[in-house]
């Protein structure tokens, strides 16, 4: 794929970005430095977090915890099909010529999308990256698949399943979302055991660590994994306490062959396994990604996903060789995330924010973060397919355009207020969109 965007494309991105915000009040209050906006629109990005689909028909490896089976819950306005910005996305990606989505126009659009997918075949994911100006996309997937090869796609695996070797029947009773989500983890652990040709978890915790946990992480690392991801906030609070190893051993041994641990017993084991997995990931040179956001799901425990709950783990001296990335920047807890940047091994991406929040809202968050710790902030989209007319490419486009716009708003204001020079603003934009991630993962960039 072409790594240098042709000038015409760069211009398209700037125009599309402007169109995205033209209708918002915030835009009128947040004038953009046009040269800075143009510079930011042309930076080839490294996207720290996505659920990009492979080109395999019916790809189901895009998330360990797919949310479509949850009891119905409302999505934020910008993620709904009636968001008029989606039309700008269809224009940018597919050359859609209309300003509405009436039935005949939609039929035409679907035909175009099918034609492009067919024409591009396995090259489709790269074709999308080319359109949105992304050089590398980190794919948070159970496994990679056709169309998702390095150097443009890098793998972030899932490890919550390794933390859940005992029955989760009692945990599932916690709420309607848990009832749907825990079985996915049980199946994924089964898949990991099968990969290792092990029928069931061994009898002791020590054997489980040496025969299952470490070999699974090593397998993932050998397969090109650059980070492991915990989606634990969908399943429990993020309060991974200082683990009691003896308690973890005895809980494991008592219930591994059957029976239901109490919540407190299971938590003791999970807390131990969380830190062990994080330590092993660090030893293998993989970062640890942790979902922290106000959702999703109608029973999701928002208070339980505050990244401050992770402070004891971040402070654990035995985990200082592990780099942590707070994925989605903590959402409404973004200020807590900003405070945690003071830990040497803590980073954050702002994925999903540029899909759910406006550019102006995200700009406010970025300005706070970038004033203090610009080297800890990573661009991310959380690109995911949300329906037949909204493939991952549409959400990747929306998030990428909005993120560039937000960065331009924040940095314009910082230059205007004499907080940074224009060259420094350009350097910060490059760090956030590209080089911070490249450094963290030791990625060779073009
Ligand atoms: Zn995600």
Position 8 pLDDT exceeds 90: no
- Span from the CA of 66 to the centroid of ligand 1 (angstroms): 10
- Span from the CA of 40 to the centroid of ligand 1 (angstroms): 24
- Span from the CA of 231 to the centroid of ligand 1 (angstroms): 9
Position 18 pLDDT exceeds 80: no
Position 294 pLDDT exceeds 50: yes
- Span from the CA of 281 to the centroid of ligand 1 (angstroms): 19
- Span from the CA of 252 to the centroid of ligand 1 (angstroms): 30
Question: Each residue of 138-190: pLDDT tens digit?
Answer: 999 999 999 999 999 999 999 999 999 999 999 999 999 999 999 999 999 99
Residue pair 40/430 in contact by the 8 Å Cβ criterion? no
- Span from the CA of 351 to the centroid of ligand 1 (angstroms): 8
- Span from the CA of 260 to the centroid of ligand 1 (angstroms): 30
Position 17 pLDDT exceeds 50: no
Q: Return the closest-CA partner of residue 313 out of 376, 254, 374, 243.
A: 243
- Span from the CA of 43 to the centroid of ligand 1 (angstroms): 23
Q: Return the closest-CA partner of residue 347 out of 292, 402, 305, 407.
A: 292
- Span from the CA of 158 to the centroid of ligand 1 (angstroms): 11
Position 40 pLDDT exceeds 50: yes
Question: Each residue of 79-128: pLDDT tens digit?
Answer: 998 999 999 999 999 999 999 999 999 999 999 999 999 999 999 999 99
pLDDT at 2: 31
Q: What is the mean pLDDT of residues 273-277?
A: 98
Query: Distance between CA atoms of 285 and 339, rounded to whole angstroms?
Result: 25
pLDDT at 22: 35
Which comes out higher in pLDDT, residue 274 or 388?
A: 274
pLDDT at 6: 33
Q: What is the dihedral of CA 431, 437, 441, 446, to 10 degrees?
A: -70
Position 237 pLDDT exceeds 50: yes
Position 24 pLDDT exceeds 90: no
**Which residues, other chains included, contact 405 with Cβ-Cβ below 8 Å and sequence gap of 6+?**
17, 18, 20, 21, 32, 37, 359, 363
For 343: left if phi > 0, alpha if psi spans -120 to 50, otherwise beta; the answer is beta
Q: Return the closest-CA partner of residue 139 out of 220, 233, 47.
A: 47
Q: Return the closest-CA partner of residue 288 out of 399, 159, 432.
A: 159
- Span from the CA of 279 to the centroid of ligand 1 (angstroms): 22
Distance (Å) of CA 336 to CA 82, 239, 319: 33, 15, 20
- Span from the CA of 293 to the centroid of ligand 1 (angstroms): 10
- Span from the CA of 233 to the centroid of ligand 1 (angstroms): 12
Question: Mean pLDDT across the chain, nearest whole number?
Answer: 93
Q: What is the mean pLDDT of residues 397-409?
A: 98
- Span from the CA of 330 to the centroid of ligand 1 (angstroms): 12
- Span from the CA of 136 to the centroid of ligand 1 (angstroms): 16
- Span from the CA of 172 to the centroid of ligand 1 (angstroms): 22
pLDDT at 446: 86
Position 5 pLDDT exceeds 80: no
> Please, what is the angle between helix 392-416 and helix 359-372, to 10°?
60
- Span from the CA of 290 to the centroid of ligand 1 (angstroms): 10
pLDDT at 388: 87
pLDDT at 198: 97
Position 246 pLDDT exceeds 60: yes
- Span from the CA of 381 to the centroid of ligand 1 (angstroms): 8
Q: What is the mean pLDDT of residues 181-201?
A: 97
β-strand pairing of 346-349 with 225-230: unpaired
- Span from the CA of 289 to the centroid of ligand 1 (angstroms): 10
- Span from the CA of 140 to the centroid of ligand 1 (angstroms): 7
pLDDT at 112: 98
pLDDT at 14: 36
- Span from the CA of 49 to the centroid of ligand 1 (angstroms): 6
- Span from the CA of 28 to the centroid of ligand 1 (angstroms): 31
- Span from the CA of 383 to the centroid of ligand 1 (angstroms): 7
């Amino acid at each position: 794929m072409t790594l240098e965007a042709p000038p015409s494309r760069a211009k398209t991105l700037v125009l599309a970005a402007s169109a995205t915000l033209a209708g918002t009040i915030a835009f009128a209050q947040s004038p953009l430095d046009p040269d800075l906006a143009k510079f930011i629109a042309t930076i080839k990005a490294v996207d720290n977090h996505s659920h990009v689909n492979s080109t395999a028909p019916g790809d189901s490896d895009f998330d360990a915890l797919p949310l479509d089976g949850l009891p119905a819950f409302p999505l934020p306005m910008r993620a709904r099909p009636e968001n008029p910005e989606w039309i700008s996305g269809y224009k940018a990606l597919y050359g859609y010529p209309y300003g509405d989505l009436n039935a005949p126009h939609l039929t035409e659009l679907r035909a175009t999308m099918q034609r492009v997918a067919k024409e591009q075949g396995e090259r489709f994911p790269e074709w999308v990256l080319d359109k949105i100006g992304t050089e590398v996309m980190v794919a948070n997937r159970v496994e990679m698949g056709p169309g998702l090869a390095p150097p443009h796609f890098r793998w972030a695996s899932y490890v919550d399943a390794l933390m859940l070797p005992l029955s989760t029947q009692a945990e599932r009773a916690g709420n309607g979302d848990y009832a749907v989500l825990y079985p996915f983890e049980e199946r994924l652990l089964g898949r990991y055991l099968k990969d290792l040709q092990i029928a069931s978890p061994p009898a002791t915790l020590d054997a489980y660590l040496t025969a299952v946990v470490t070999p699974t992480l090593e397998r993932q690392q050998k397969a090109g994994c650059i980070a492991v991801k915990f989606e634990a906030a969908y399943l429990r609070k993020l309060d991974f306490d200082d683990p009691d190893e003896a308690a973890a051993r005895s809980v494991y041994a008592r219930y591994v062959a059957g029976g239901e641990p109490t919540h407190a017993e299971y938590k003791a084991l999970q807390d131990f396994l969380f830190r062990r997995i994080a330590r092993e990931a660090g030893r293998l040179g993989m970062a640890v990604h942790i979902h922290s956001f106000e959702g999703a799901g109608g029973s999701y425990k928002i208070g339980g996903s505050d990244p401050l709950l992770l402070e004891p783990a971040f402070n654990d001296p035995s985990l200082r060789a592990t780099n942590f990335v707070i994925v989605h920047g903590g959402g409404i807890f973004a200020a807590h995330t900003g405070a945690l940047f003071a830990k040497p091994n803590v980073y954050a991406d702002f994925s999903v924010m540029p899909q759910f929040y406006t550019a102006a809202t995200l700009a406010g968050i970025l300005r706070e973060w970038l004033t203090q710790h610009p080297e800890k902030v990573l661009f991310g989209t959380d690109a995911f397919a949300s329906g037949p007319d909204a493939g991952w490419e549409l959400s990747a486009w929306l998030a990428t355009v909005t993120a560039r716009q937000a960065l331009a708003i924040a940095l314009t204001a910082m230059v205007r207020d004499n907080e940074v020079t224009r060259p420094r603003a350009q350097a910060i934009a490059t760090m956030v969109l590209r080089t911070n991630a490249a450094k963290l993962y030791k990625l060779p960039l073009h």
